[in-house]
């Protein structure tokens, strides 16, 4: 942490022994150990808090992106439903119009205004065209 070697620590211990004396050195070491323990606990707790806060922020960002996707798909579904509803209304209007037209229309005479298409078999069996007879009345 502070990049201290064995000899530096030994030097600090000898200076503390000279300054504090042997009786106060034990009490000072205990107090220093308690403070170091409290410092370690507080720093570990802060690291855990930062890690959990970072993780919480990541989860919140993911949550917001998922909600945005859900809202976009919800809007798309609403648009599709509105389009289908409009199509159904248009279709029902058209069916009502055709029903009204068929109810108002007179019944046609059978085979009037109809054209018949002959198949190949019927074309072969058909009678030839009538011969051309010139009109000699002039």
CA-to-CA separations, 22 to 14, 16, 33, 45, 73, in angstroms, rounded:
11, 9, 17, 35, 76
**pTM of this prediction?**
0.42
CB-based contact 112:104 (threshold 8 Å): no
CA distance 100 to 42: 85
Enumerate the domain spans of the chain. Answer: 6-97
For 25, residues 6+ apart whose C-beta sits below 8 A from its C-beta are: 16, 17
> Do the Cβ atoms of 91 and 83 come closer than 8 Å?
no
In this prediction, residue 136 has a pLDDT band, given cuts at 50, 70 and 90, of low
Counting residues of the chain whose pLDDT is more than 90, the rounded percentage is 41
- pLDDT tens digit sequence for 31-68: 989 999 999 999 999 999 999 999 999 999 999 999 99
- Please state the rounded mean pLDDT for residues 6-33: 88
Give the pLDDT confidence score for residue 62 in this predicted structure.
Answer: 95
Better pLDDT: 63 or 12: 63
When pLDDT is cut at 50, 70 and 90, the band that residue 105 belongs to is low
């Amino acid at each position: 942490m502070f990049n201290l070697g064995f000899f530096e620590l030994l030097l600090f211990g000898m200076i503390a022994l000279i300054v504090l004396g042997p009786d106060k050195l034990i009490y000072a070491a205990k107090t220093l150990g308690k403070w170091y323990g409290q410092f370690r606990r507080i720093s570990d707790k802060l690291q855990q808090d930062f890690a959990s806060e970072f993780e919480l922020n990541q989860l919140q960002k993911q949550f917001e992106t998922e909600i945005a996707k859900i809202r976009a798909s919800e809007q798309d579904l609403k648009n599709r439903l509105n389009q289908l509803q409009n199509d159904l209304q248009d279709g029902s209007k058209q069916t009502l119009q055709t029903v009204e037209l068929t109810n108002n229309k007179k019944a046609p005479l059978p085979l009037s205004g109809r054209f018949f298409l002959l198949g190949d078999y019927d074309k072969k069996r058909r009678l030839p065209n009538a011969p051309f007879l010139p009109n000699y009345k002039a």
